[in-house]
């Protein structure tokens, strides 16, 4: 069972950054804003997480900076998409390009033009007594770092907020029927602003996991398309936290498979294994095409009449 335990452990770790970003995207899209800038916010979080940990010698400082950096990206999206009513897809794409350029410039400026790898303090695994000894799932699920556990706890918490509380109902109304929400006294654009900020913060935390939870360094374009996969996770999970968890685990396990296949030296070009998560993304979107119903007012700017 060792290969399966190893696959589960790697798969859960690879799913964690997708889960954080997807949960943030659910909050934003349920409020009526689509954040295509997830990729850039995750990349900013990965860089700031590494830089904070490097200079403060503490991964917690890096995590805080990563969340702040993602929040700044969310504020930028909120300004253009909510305040100015600009096209949300174009605004998010611009954030992705901006983050790619800024992180590259600052990384080379701080750590050298050659981009040599810098190692930093990271979050160590926190084995859970007794549970880590469970067969099959124990080592994979209960020998992870604190960020993995926080991501798993965030899923039921967000589900309860959105679907079991009055504020959650008001939040979802802003993405479904903003006119009705406004007539009921809900500040629609204020909720959308908050959705952008929280989405950015969670995406930044997801990016920080890449540099502080999965590796102990930063490389340019480290997010490697995970922000776009997180968008697919939201769609495949039907805009629900539990669905996003299942979809993130599916993509995480696909990413884990590529390492196992390469380690076994199969007579298949390694590029196929690298492309496996992205091929799965396309397949998932094709399967959900025509079946997934996004919030009715998604990506539609709201102006009070």
Tens digits of residue pLDDT in 113-156: 655 568 888 998 888 888 887 877 777 788 899 999 999 999 99
pLDDT category at 257 given cuts 50, 70, 90 is confident
**Other beta carbons within 10 Å of 221:** 13
Assigned token pair, 129: 């007594």
| Mean pLDDT, all residues of the chain | 89
pLDDT on residue 243 = 92
**pLDDT confidence tier of residue 287, bands split at 50, 70 and 90:** confident
For the chain, give the number of residues: 305
- Give the residue carrying structure tokens 């095409």: 289
Q: What percent of the chain has pLDDT over 70?
A: 91
Q: Which of 103-117, 201-215, 260-274 has the highest mean pLDDT?
A: 201-215
- pLDDT tens digits for 78-104? 999 999 999 999 999 999 999 999 999
Condensed to tens digits (0 to 9), the pLDDT of residues 216-227 reads 889 888 998 899
Residues 6+ apart with CB under 8 A from 122: 53, 59, 145, 211, 212, 213, 215, 216
Structure tokens at 111: 């750590």
* Calpha distance 156→132 (Å, rounded): 22
The full DSSP string for 167-204 is: HHHHHHHHHH-HHHHHHTT--HHHHHHHHHHHHHHHHH
Give the SS3 label for residue 109. helix
Percentages helix, strand, coil for the chain (3-state, rounded to 5) are 75, 0, 25
Could you tell me the pTM of the whole model? Answer: 0.92
Is the pLDDT at 195 greater than 70, yes or no? yes
Of 100-109, 111-120, 259-268, least confident by mean pLDDT is: 259-268
Q: What is the CATH number of domain 2-288?
A: 1.10.3470
What's the rounded Cα separation, in Å, for the pair 295 and 194?
Answer: 17
Residue whose structure tokens are 């699920």: 141
Q: Are 233 and 18 in contact (CB under 8 A)?
A: yes
Higher pLDDT, 261 or 202: 202
Given the structure tokens 């396309």, which residue do they identify? 282
Average pLDDT, stretch 228-244? 92
**136 exposed, middle or buried (CB, 10 Å; 0-12, 13-18, 19+)?**
exposed
Portion of the chain with pLDDT greater than 90, in percent: 62
Range name among 73-77, 237-241, 292-296 with the lowest pLDDT average: 292-296
- The residue-averaged pLDDT of 290-300 equals 83
**Whether 132 contacts 138, CB under 8 Å:** yes
Between 276 and 301, the higher pLDDT residue: 301
Question: Does the pLDDT of residue 290 top 70, yes or no?
Answer: no
CA distances from 161 to 19, 166, 167 (A): 17, 8, 7
Distance from C-alpha of 87 to C-alpha of 95, rounded to nearest angstrom:
13
């Amino acid at each position: 069972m060792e290969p399966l335990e190893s696959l589960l452990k790697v798969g859960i770790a690879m799913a964690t950054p997708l889960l954080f970003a997807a949960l943030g995207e659910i909050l934003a899209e349920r409020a009526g804003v689509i954040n295509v800038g997830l990729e850039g916010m995750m990349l900013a979080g990965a860089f700031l997480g590494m830089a904070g940990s490097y200079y403060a010698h503490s991964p917690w400082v890096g995590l805080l900076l990563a969340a702040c950096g993602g929040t700044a990206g969310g504020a930028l999206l909120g300004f253009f998409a909510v305040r100015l009513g600009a096209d949300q897809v174009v605004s998010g794409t611009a954030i992705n390009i901006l983050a790619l350029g800024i992180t590259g410039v600052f990384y080379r400026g701080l750590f050298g033009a050659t981009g040599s790898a810098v190692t930093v303090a990271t979050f160590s695994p926190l084995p859970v007594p007794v549970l880590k000894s469970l067969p099959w799932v124990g080592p994979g699920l209960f020998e992870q770092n604190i960020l993995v556990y926080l991501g798993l706890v965030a899923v039921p918490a967000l589900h309860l907020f959105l679907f079991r509380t009055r504020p959650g109902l008001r939040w979802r109304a802003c993405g479904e029927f903003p006119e009705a929400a406004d007539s009921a006294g809900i500040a629609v654009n204020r909720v959308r602003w908050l959705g952008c900020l929280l989405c950015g913060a969670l995406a930044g935390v997801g990016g920080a996991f890449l540099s502080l939870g999965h590796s102990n360094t930063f490389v340019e374009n480290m997010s490697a398309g995970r922000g776009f996969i997180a968008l697919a996770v939201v769609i495949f999970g039907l805009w629900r936290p539990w669905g996003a968890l299942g979809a993130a685990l599916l993509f995480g396990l696909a990413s884990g498979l590529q390492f196992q296949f390469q380690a076994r030296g199969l007579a298949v070009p390694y590029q196929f294994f690298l492309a496996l998560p992205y091929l799965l993304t396309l397949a998932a979107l094709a399967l959900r095409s025509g079946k997934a119903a996004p919030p009715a007012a998604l990506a539609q700017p709201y102006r009070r009449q």
